[in-house]
Structure 1
Amino acid sequence: MKLQNILKNSLCSESTYDKLIELDKDSILKEIIPQIGDMKNVGECKYHVVNAYEHSLNALKELEQTINRDNFFSSHLFGEIEAYLNTILKEGITKFQLLKLGVFLHDIGKPESKTVDDTGRAHFKGHEIVGEEIVINLGKSLGFDDQTINLLAKYVRYHMILLVLYKKNDMSKDNLFDIFKTLGDDVIGVLLLGYCDIVSTRKLLNPNEDSGVIKSYMEYILTNYLYRYKML
């Protein structure tokens, strides 16, 4: 219970990014999340120039900066996103606070899913599925309630949806509605995670790259969810 409270206090902090770094320096974070040691040793590949631990911290920092940015979200989306993020869970934390944990843990499955091909290139196929199982067990070990565990697992399991939609450029009604049926309102959290995942990765590859295209994809999907799917 003590470890759970330490983690929850960190998630409720204005800068969870800084709090997790402090916990890591004090060797407490590994007590809470034993897998971070392995995350520090994998993750670098064609798309990532840092390990999974550093990338996850960068993505978390991106989320906190994004949420605090004035007028980041289009006016027709802001109210719904704010209401979603401020929803209080049974655990006593908000969905935004849990989303911060989801962002930090989204690549936790990479160490167990790592393979290396004949050219020496690392792959992490299915890491989101492996990660889902890990965070379920992690949530149970921390004493989280089922609602919190299931939502955290959902964030991790589906964190690649925005990237897949962007790469395939398949924004058809059938494809989007299938996603909406699976995720419901949690598509908001999943897409925010995906946005921060992509942007934090690309900033290291090209600090001057405009993230507006990724944002446009995210907002287009959310607009379809809120103003087409939910109104049926």
Structure 2
Amino acid sequence: SLGIGADARDILADLKDFFSGRGVEAYVAGGFLRDALLGRDSHDVDISIAGDPLVLGRELADAHGGHYFPLAEERHLARVLLPQRNVHIDLMPLRAEIEADLRERDYTIDAMAAPLAAAASGEVTVIDPTGGLNDLRDRLVRVIHEDAFRHDALRPLRGARLATELDFTLEPGTMELIRKYAPRLPEVAVERQRDELMRIMATPRAGTGLRLLDDLGLLERLLPEMTDTRGVEQPKEHYWDVFNHCLETVRNLDILMGEEEPGDRHWRTLWRELWGQLAWWTEARDYFREELIAERPRLAVLKLGGLLHDIAKPETKTFDETGRMRFFGHADVGADRVGHILRRFHFSAREVALVQMMVKAHLRPVQMAQQGPPTRRALYRYFRDCGGAAIETLFLSLADHLGTVGPRVSASGWRQHVALVNYILTKRFQEEESISPPKLMGGDELMAELNLSPGSLIGRLLETLREAQAAGEISNRDEALALARSLLARETSGQPDEGEP
């Protein structure tokens, strides 16, 4: 019996009508069937057909108002996107009998199939030539044969992702084969590597998944820059070395951003403190569910920032004259390193900018509260400088805090940090005019009043006026003009200015 929801069943019924109406033998296979057997929702439908997917895929897209994409024309693979139903359908040709086709797949739990007509009804006899049902019951990810890894060097990483995504265990023999073939991962197109990594980051077990990648020898091939962080000691207030601190930061985000209370008592206390005190928890959850691009939610990108936020600590580590350890400039250098890493994987420009800013600003939330609650001026500068990464950086700072102190976390220290984040978010959402004040005057008006020509000075003056307005020092046009005259007088006399511009 398949745990297929009403929407998915409607899709299968439409597909059954489409293929049966053309006399084409069709089977539901792969991840969709696996997830249906587990009672999990899936928006990816794999269909094996006794026909040409390139021809039938185009017809299917036209019939249902979807979009058609040939995935690999030489292998006759096609994809149909049905955006109105939030589903994509991968079509592949049957090259032999269905059982023989299934044996050519990689993992047993993805090597099952069912006739499309029967699957649409919800009651099927599963075609299972490799023992996938038993492995599904035992929660095991098992490779079918070693050739699967020989033919596609991404499959070891895919196996680790499946284990993380499903909360399954890798079968011991499969683990050994993955370790054997891990050195071949760099042969794979970077986009495919990136997509598997981000699917791990999108799970509620990303930290566990990264530990698994490390154990299998995949993490060092995926992100060789992380190797330099291993064993790099930190000052005594840090519980972990840099490598483990970064992985623990991701694990902390898994738990803190989880939808349900953790079972562990220690983590349940921290989780309750966060979501009990945070006035904007509903908005925060909705915000992090948002997809920056297809299938890459903000939360996954936040975790990527958590993994990489201290990437430059090894190269910036120094000792002062007292022997104290320092990492001066690691945030700025790290932002540059992260840019190179993400561009190597062909992340979108938006994602690159977001993670770079998280890394660059990850110390800011704590730094601006060292003398008490952040001032209005500090808050304005924070949101101005961080832009679209401001909220992510706040939650990264929470996970970074726990990743610093580890199990030595104090209730008062955690409560204070949560209160800081709540304070900043409250200012952001309740007092938006102090964070992004409306202009009191524009550039043309300022030039006319002060008899100035266009140039960089105008921009500096306008920004100083906005900052003073955000700080509550000016509130109307006359006050803005008076301040601008004063600033201009200092500028022309050569007197040092107080702060910006």
TM-score between the two structures when normalised by the length of structure 1: 0.91
CA contact (8 A) 1:91 1:145 kept: no
Please name the residue that 1:79 is paired with.
282
Q: 1:212 maps to what in 2? A: 415
- Give SS of 1:166's match: coil
Give the letter aligned to residue 94 of structure 1. Answer: P
Q: Does 1:31 align with 2:229?
A: no
Supply the distance in 2 between the matched residues of 1:213 and 1:103 (Cα, whole angstroms).
Answer: 21
Give runs of aligned pairs for residues 57-76 of structure 1, distance below 5 A: 57-68=247-258, 70=261, 72-73=274-275, 74=277, 76=279
Letter in 1 for 2:255: Q
Greater RCO, CA 8 A, separation 6+: 1
**Structure 1 residue 51, shift from structure 2 partner:** 0.8
Q: Does 1:56 align with 2:259?
A: no
Are positions 1:226 and 2:416 aligned together? no
Q: 2:377 aligns with which of 154, 174, 182?
A: 174
Question: Computing the radius of gyration over CA atoms, which structure comes out larger, 1 or 2?
Answer: 2
Q: Which residue of 2 aligns with 1:123?
A: 326
User: Which amino acid letter does the alignment assign opposite residue 110 of structure 1?
Assistant: K
For residue 208 of structure 1, report the CA deviation from its aligned partner. Answer: 4.3
Whether the aligned pair in 2 keeps the contact of 1:202 and 1:209 (CA below 8 Å) is: no
3-state SS, counterpart of residue 222 of structure 1: helix
Residue 11 of structure 1 is matched in structure 2 by 201
Q: Tell me the amino acid that sits aligned with residue 54 of structure 1.
A: N
Q: Distance in 1 between matches of 2:213 and 2:295?
A: 21
* TM-score (normalised: structure 2): 0.44
What are the Cα deviations for residues 152-205 of structure 1, in whole angstroms up to 9, with x where unaligned?
Answer: 11111111112212323251111111111222353211000011111232234x
Matched residues in 1 for 2:343 and 2:387: separation? 24
Aligned twin of 2:234: 44
Higher strand share: 2
Matched letter for residue 313 of structure 2: K
Q: CA deviation at 1:76?
A: 3.6
Alignment map for 1:60-209 (pairs within 5 Å): 60-68=250-258, 70=261, 72-73=274-275, 74=277, 76-90=279-293, 92-204=295-407, 206-209=408-411
Give the corresponding residue for 2:133: none
Measured in 2, the distance between the counterparts of 1:43 and 1:31 equals: 23
Instruction: Give the CA deviation at 1:34.
Output: 1.1
Letter in 1 for 2:340: N
CA deviations on 1:100-136 (whole Å, 9 max, x unpaired) are 1111111111011111223433210110001100110
Aligned-partner Cα distance in 1 for 2:224–2:371: 35
Distance in 1, Cα, partners of 2:388 & 2:329: 24
Asked if the contact 1:91–1:148 (Cα under 8 Å) also holds between the matched residues in 2, the reply is no
Matches of 2:233 and 2:431 in 1, distance apart?
A: 38
Separation (CA, whole Å) in 2 of partners of 1:81 and 1:112? 34
Contact 1:56–1:103, Cα closer than 8 Å, also in 2: yes
SS in 2 for 1:107: coil
Runs (4 or more) in structure 1 with deviation over 6 Å come to: none
Distance in 2 (CA, whole Å) between partners of 1:114 and 1:31 is 24
Classify 1:75/1:207 alpha carbon distance in 2 versus 1 (closer, same or farther; 3 Å).
closer
Seen in structure 2, the aligned counterparts of structure 1 residues 75 and 175 have a Cα distance that, compared at 3 Å, is closer
| Distance of 1:180 and 1:111 partners within structure 2 | 29
Residue 157 of structure 1 aligns with an amino acid whose one-letter code is K
1:57-110 deviations in whole A, cap 9, x for unaligned?
A: 222111111112556434641222122211211263011110011111111110
8 Å CA contact 1:10, 1:19 repeated in 2: yes
Relative to 1, partners in 2 of residues 1:18 and 1:180: Cα closer, same or farther, differing over 3 Å?
Answer: same
Worse-superposed segment, 101-110 or 115-124: 115-124
Identical counterparts, % of pairs:
24
Q: Is the 8 A contact 1:43 1:52 kept in 2?
A: yes
Give me the whole-angstrom Cα distance separating, in 2, the residues matched to 1:81 and 1:198.
19
The C-alpha deviation readout for 1:195-232, integer Å capped at 9, x for no partner, is 1111232234x344431111001100110011112685
- Whether the 8 Å contact between 1:35 and 1:108 is mirrored in structure 2 is yes
Structure (1/2) with the larger helix percentage: 1
One-letter amino acid of the counterpart of residue 17, structure 1: G
8 A Cα contact 2:246 2:307, kept in partner: yes
* Cα drift, residue 30 of structure 1: 1.2
Instruction: Answer whether contact 2:239 2:405 (CA < 8 A) is retained.
Output: no
